[in-house]
Structure 1
Amino acid sequence: MLAQIFLVSALIWMAILWWQNRGKRDLCKYIKSDIPCYPFIGMAYKFAGSNEDKMKTVMDIGREAIKHNGWTHLWLGMQLFAVACDPAEVEFVVKTYLEKDDVLKFTQMLIGNGSIFASVPIWKPRRKVLAPTFAPRKLNQYMHVFQEQGAVMVDELRKVADKGSFSIWKFMTTYTMDSICETTLGCKLGVQRQGDHPFLQNLAELAELIAKRMLSPWLHFDFSFKLTGHYDRCMRYINAITDFVSKIIKSRRAALKKNNNTSISDEYTPKPFLDLLIESSGGAEHGYTDRELLEESLVMLIAGNDTSAVGASFVTVMLSQHLDMQEKIYKEIQEVFGDSDRPITAEDLPHLKYLEAFIKETLRLYPPVPITARKADKECVTPAGTKLIPGVGVVIHMWAIHRNPRYWGADAEEFRPERFFDSPPTHPAAYMPFSYGSRNCLGYQYAMMSMKTIITSLVREYKVLPASGTSNKEPLRLQYDVMMKHVDNYEVKLQTRSH
């Protein structure tokens, strides 16, 4: 009897959902997709399998959007997403819809109301407090951190140089962890010398679980997610991460109170982001609460660490695949530094123009965050005539935007850094590895400074060669777990340069 009641209730519930979604189904008549879609599960079946299979599906959806003049659609269960890859349309979307879609808010288990995914009423005032902390003048003060930590990484790489293939990922992620903790929290961890840190291990495991939940409609509901073993694992990782950061915040706040709200800093030890946040939000007594500081610190730690590490690791692999371009970069570095071994300074970075173009081209074809999403909270018609209705999610497909031949030309799939000199994109939203619009990533310049510094340090000391057994040809095999990463774990070989 109970089974019958449950079955009848489920059928009624599905019928109601089917009726409520009639407007969304009508929308699909105009936003085309040739990917087979089934009742109630939609295209969720396409996200089964490995993380590489998931990324292949993300890429297939992007190609659909390019094929259908910049738009396609995706059903995840009963939720419809309109997928955009035309920069002009994307610019309209990000200006019209400021709320992040609910599918992205599963990260709130960790970062709470952190500004990256916070609702608009919370995001707006926090953005005003955060923005001044990323001013170029303040970022330049962190240059010595990137330089010092880069020198440590170069030294650690001596253990694997001239010895065959290895993964650069561990070295990049520990470099960015040491850099981001010193610049954000004001503490020196020394992870590069010690090996993996529990924070990195917990974050990697948590990211995989969040990605699994995002792409599994049956796990979108809190009650169903809590019935799985994934929930307990998530909470274990979250508690470990937040405990680590919370202890540092409490210690830093106490030190500021003792020093009358004044950070102990000078030319060589500038104020970390945490101190700047405390001061700009009202001071140790009246500023952000420990919870608010935790949320924003986690945003900077997670976004800053993973984005820079993934980006720099992809750049390293591309250096190994394009030895002629790597030689151009090395010659450019020699023009700036000569045969000296002096440290890199902020004043050197603008002179490394070809390196910057190489990094930009890598991020164009391999953006660490390939997709993001906004929530349509009102009806509107885009400049191209696409109608969007409330309740629909809008996926902004950066991977496909960066390959859209309408804006990047017939060679959009080719790796060609020179395009940023002779044929830059014709629309500002055509290049958005760190998103676009008022909710873009504030840490874009920070990430570029970090990547330019570490790649310069690497190329000054080593020649990067393809890993043994690789074809030395694109495209790279990719996988998706919130970030887009390399299936082969960024394997390369290093050859020590003779000076």
Structure 2
Amino acid sequence: MLILLFLPLLIAGCWFLNYFWNNRYLKQYPGPVPLPVVGSALDFVNPKKTVYQLLKYRENYKGDYKIYLGFQPLVFISELKSIEAMLNSTTNLKKSKQYQFFKNWLGNGLLLSDGDYWRRHRKIITPAFHFQILEKYVEVFNEVSNVLVECLEEKLNQGAFDIYPYITLSALDVMCDAAMGIPMNAQINSESQYVNSVKELGRITIARGFSVLQQYDFIYRFSESYQTEKKALKLLHSYAYNVIEQKKQENKNILSEDDLSAKKKLAFLDLLLYHNSKTNTLNDDEIREEVDTLLFEGHDTTASGISFTLYTLANYPGIQEKVYQEIKSIFGDDLTRAPTPSDLNELRYLEMVIKESLRLYPPVPFYARELTSNIKLGDRILPKGMIVGIYAMGIQHDENIFPNPYKFDPERFSPENSRGRSPYAFIPFSAGARNCIGQKFAMLEMKSTISKLLRHYQLLPTTPAQKLELILETVMRSNNGIMIRLKKRLP
């Protein structure tokens, strides 16, 4: 009985000690007054409000700010000088502990690893994203986009529908083919166990990250989510190991880079296995972790980026028409010609549109890191061990950098308007040493998918116009879908 009486007092006492200890450094940052024990966690109980709450904090505190989630203080930075200092750091590259909830799934893949291990793997993987290799993926983009066009036929002239699930399955097909070299056919078989397991793991992991109680393993292990996670992981990992073994057998006769380049289709896994056959530096677990990481990071983020761009195009018909005319100037009325890498590179206005959509709706609104050394951000110093949220959505809505920041205006990314702008002002793919290794791949995929859809369909808005309800899961998406209408384009 006495234990039950004093336990709340002990917890409260620990919280206050933790608060006053950290406040030695954090008093220089504005932020909401934290409640005892829970901090500002109650502001994030409803996941539908998370995106808006973070933006509201930024507007209220005019830049960088602090919050507490339970015992954990976090500093969100969105001032240019702070972001430049953080992303230019060569020592503070460690992901925050919140990312460790992906550990069971992704292991020590590039997303979660740090230090010398991360540097070694990054060096091994970087050649897989050389432009000459990326060119080989354009055929995959086209094949998957053709299936997407067919799947959307049923939605012609049938009123508004949510296009996001279609784009997600398309992006998953691309990543399974590009990462593993195995067609998943998720668009055709959307209820497959593999597809559902990927969805479940994403949902469970992000929910755990914002739960004060489930952040603790000893509590999480008693939850229903833990049992669901175990089942999904068993299926995904088993599938990946089987594919690795299958690819090893297929690639036995690949003895040189010329043999490798001669393959009609070249998957990320092929490149890893070839490298490993020469160096023997990766075991099967490490290979599986990197393949799973690429698949996870690649399909959700790209699906988000494509979907929000389609939403903006549907709601800005003048801009959509300008994009369509650019596409038509390259492909004419030929709906079947496959795009070449050169074709996609010529779609410069479409790239401006995609970038403006990524500015307004970044798939990953912030990146969190744990400081491994003290760092000076502007005129303030944060100590080793502090969690810093690099708030991409915040700086991308900074009116001093992007005037009238909530307006959709692709001209912001014209060559003349981009000239002189800091590369750290637009960071949907992060920046610095830990930037997204697949950002060129992602841009090519987005251009390929969007241009293929616009060659076949005119995108129309809902009536009345849909107001998005932004929600943060593994990536940012719209809780009420991406609602559009489709109309067949006539030659």
Pair 58,264 (structure 1): closer, same or farther in 2 beyond 3 Å: farther
Alpha-carbon distance in 2 for matches of 1:103, 1:171: 29
Partner AA of 1:460 in structure 2: R
* Cα gap change, 1:253 to 1:63, in 2 (>3 Å): farther
Report the count of equivalent residues: 486
Secondary structure at the counterpart of residue 463 of structure 1: strand
Deviations 1:405-434 (A, max 9, x none): 12222x112100011114227211111111
1:92 to partner: Cα distance: 1.0
**Conserved? CA contact 1:332–1:352, under 8 Å:** yes
- Once residues 267 and 171 of structure 1 are traced to their aligned partners in structure 2, the CA distance between those partners, rounded to angstroms, is 33
Which AA in structure 2 matches 1:27?
A: Y
Identify the match of residue 130 of structure 2 among 106, 119, 135.
135
Structure-1 separation of matches of 2:161 and 2:258: 41
Tell me if structure 2 keeps the 8 A contact 1:40–1:77.
yes
1:61 is matched with: 57
Q: Distance in 2 between matches of 1:180 and 1:359?
A: 20
Q: 1:498 is aligned with what amino acid?
A: L
Asked if 1:206 corresponds to 2:201, the answer is yes
Aligned mates of 1:75, 1:180 — CA distance in 2: 36
CA contact (8 A) 1:282 1:288 kept: no
The amino acid of 1:48's aligned partner reads V
Q: Post-superposition shift, 1:105?
A: 1.5
Shift of 1:17: 4.9
Other-structure match for 1:217 = 212
State the partner residue of 1:40. 37
Hey, what's the Cα distance between the residues in 2 that align with 1:166 and 1:264? Answer: 46
Q: 1:266 to 1:376 in 2, by over 3 A?
A: closer
Match of 2:29 among 20, 28, 31: 31
Checking the alignment, whether the CA contact within 8 Å between 1:477 and 1:488 is kept in structure 2 is: yes
Opposite residue 177 of structure 1, the aligned amino acid is: L
Gaps of 5+ in 1: none
User: Pick from 386, 389, 399: which aligns with 1:392?
Assistant: 386
Instruction: Give yes or no for the alignment of 1:179 onto 2:177.
Output: no
Take 1:478 and 1:223, find their aligned partners in 2: how far apart are those partners?
32
2:308 is aligned to 314
Of 320, 332, 342, 1:338 maps to 332
How big is each residue's C-alpha offset from its partner over 1:309-340, in whole Å with a ceiling of 9 and x where there is no partner? 11111111111110110000111111111223
Contact residue 15 and residue 36 of structure 2 kept, 8 A: no
- Post-superposition shift, 1:400? 0.7
Flag the 1:211–1:189 CA change in 2: closer, same or farther, 3 A: closer
Say if 1:94 and 1:374, in contact at 8 Å, map to a contact too: no
Match of 2:459, SS state, is strand
Choose which of 365, 374, 391 in structure 2 pairs with 1:379. 374
Pick the aligned partner of 2:482 from 490, 493, 497: 490
Distance 1:178 1:482, change over 3 A: closer
Maintained 8 Å contact 1:94/1:437: yes
> Cα–Cα, structure 1 residues 321 and 330, in superposed 2: closer, same or farther, change >3 Å?
same
Structure-1 separation of matches of 2:276 and 2:260: 19
Mind listing any 5+ residue stretches in structure 2 that lack a counterpart?
A: none
Q: In structure 1, what is the Cα distance between the partners aligned to 2:88 and 2:277?
A: 30
Letter in 1 for 2:464: T
Q: What's the offset of the Cα at 1:395? A: 0.5
Conserved 8 A contact 1:174-1:196:
no
| Residues 1:167 and 2:167 are matched in the alignment | no
| Alignment check: 8 A CA contact 2:300 2:474 kept | no
Contact map agreement 1:184 1:273 (CA 8 A) in 2: yes
RMSD over equivalenced CA pairs, Å: 2.1
Alignment partners' CA distance in 1, 2:394 and 2:213: 27
Alpha-carbon distance in structure 1 between the residues aligned to 2:113 and 2:449 = 31
Contact kept in structure 1, 2:376 and 2:382, CA below 8 Å: yes
Conserved? CA contact 2:362–2:393, under 8 Å: yes
Q: What letter is aligned with 1:387?
A: I
Contact preservation (8 Å) 2:176, 2:183: yes
Residue number among 9, 15, 18 corresponding to 2:13 in the alignment: 15
Cα shift at 1:88: 2.5
2:432 aligns to what SS in structure 1? coil
* Residues 97-246 of structure 1 aligned to structure 2 (within 5 Å): 97-246=92-241
- TM-score for both structures, normalised by structure 1: 0.92
CA contact (8 A) 2:171 2:302 kept: yes
Which amino acid counterpart does residue 77 of structure 1 have in structure 2?
A: G
Paired position in structure 2 for 1:439? 434
Could you tell me which amino acid in structure 1 is paired with residue 231 of structure 2?
R
Q: Distance in 1 between matches of 2:40 and 2:9?
A: 21
**Aligned equivalents of 1:268 and 1:333: distance in 2?**
30
CA change 1:278–1:6 in 2 (3 A) is farther
Distance in structure 2 (CA, Å) of the matches to 1:349 and 1:239 = 39
Out of 88, 95, 100, the position equivalent to 1:95 is 88
Q: Deviations over 1:194-218 (max 9, x none)?
A: 3343323222222222112111222
How far did 1:26 drift? 2.7
Shift in Å, 1:193:
2.7
Q: Is the 8 A contact 1:182 1:188 kept in 2?
A: yes
Range 355-364 or range 20-29, more displaced: 20-29
Paired residues of 1:264 and 1:271 also in contact (CA < 8 A):
no
